[in-house]
Amino acid sequence: MRRSLKEVRVAARAARAARALLAAGATAAVLASVLVPVSAFGAASGGEGGGTITVGAGDGGSSGGDQGSSAGGDGASGPGAIPWQCTYEKLVLNDDGGSVGGPTPGSWYSVTCVDTQTGASTTETEWIPDQSTTTSPPVDPRSVALEAENSLRLPAPVSHLNPASASVVNLPTWLWVDAGIWHSYSVSASVGSVSATAVATPHSVEWSMGDGGAVVCDGPGTPFDPYIASSEQSTGCSYTYARSSAGQPSPDGSPDDAIFEVRATVNWSVSWSAQGAAGGGELPSLTTSTSTAERVVQVESINELVAMAEGHGDRGSAE
C-alpha cells in the first residue's frame, strides 16, 4: 500500500528520533529492546551478523507545532504518539553478491513499516550505513621487519686457534671460525596484508684475545693445515701475544695452566624489505659470540740459549 504524505512525515519524524538516540550512544542491542522508531527511508543502526532487527514506536514527546496541527500532525491518536513499527531484515545475499551500496560501510536491508493504527504498510530495500566503523591503524612495515629480526636465530661461531695446545709469545697465532655459518639468514613476519623480511649477513669477526688486545677480521679466517708446510700457508687473521698467560686464572688451579679467555664475536648486518607496503633498508646490527681458553707460554729460542752458553763459556750451563 502506498503511503500518504502524512505517513511520510511520520516516517521522517521517526528517523529524526532514531538519529537523536544514535547520537546519544545507543547500541544496536538497545535499539532492539527499547523499540526505537526508524523511517524506512532514514539511517539506522546496521545489524551485525544478519538476522532480523525489529524497531517500533514508543511514546515520545511531541515537538512544537505538531500536536493537533493539520500541517505538522502525525495522524496519530494521543499526544505525540508515533504508530509506525518497522522491521529490518539484512539481505545477506545482496552483500555477498557485491551489490554496490552507499559511500560508507553498511549493508542492504529489507525494511517493512506498518502503521499499527491503520494497518497501512510499506516495504523498501535500503542501504543502511554502519553507525560505527572501526578503522584499523596503518601497519608500519619497519615495525613488522623488526619483529622478523627478533625471530632470527643466528648461529654462534665455533672458534679455532693455531697453535692449538698453547700459543707462544712473539709467534703469530692463527684465528678462524667455521666457515659453515658464513652465509645469510632470513625470517619473514606478517601483520594483515603487510609482510616484511629481515636478512642477516655476517661481515666480520672481532677477536678479543684476553690480554687486552683485539683484532678484527673481515671474514671467517683461513684454517691452518697441519699437512702443509707453514712457509706455504698464509692468513690475514692472526694475533701475536707479547706476554704469557702466567698469573691469569687457571681452570684447574694449577699456575702452569693459566689461560687467557679468547672471545670471537661475529658481526651481522641486517637489511629488510616489505611486501604489501613500501619500505626497506637497514635494521640494527646483531652479534653472536663464543669463548675459548688459550694458554700462552714463553719459549726461549735456540739462538738465545747458544748466546747464553757462549757467555758462560759452557753450552751446558744454559738454563
Q: Over the stretch 12-45, which tens digit does the pLDDT of each residue have?
A: 445 444 444 344 333 333 333 323 333 333 333 3
**Residues composing the chain:** 319
Q: What top-level class would CATH report for the domain 141-317?
A: mainly beta
Q: What is the location of CATH 2.60.40.10 in the chain?
A: 141-317
Percent of the chain predicted with pLDDT > 70: 62
The CA radius of gyration of the chain, in Å to the nearest whole number, is: 43
Per residue in 134-190, pLDDT tens? 566 788 999 999 999 999 999 999 999 999 889 999 999 999 999 999 999 999 999
Q: How many CB atoms lie within 10 A of CB 79?
A: 13
- Mean pLDDT to the nearest integer, 48-56: 36
The rounded mean pLDDT for the chain is: 73
Taking phi over 0 as left and psi of -120 to 50 as alpha, with beta for the rest, 305 belongs to: alpha
The pLDDT value recorded for residue 151 is 93
The pLDDT value recorded for residue 131 is 67
Which residue is it, cell 502503521? 115
Q: Is the pLDDT of residue 297 over 60?
A: yes
Q: Is the pLDDT of residue 51 over 70?
A: no
Task: Supply the pTM of this predicted model.
Answer: 0.54
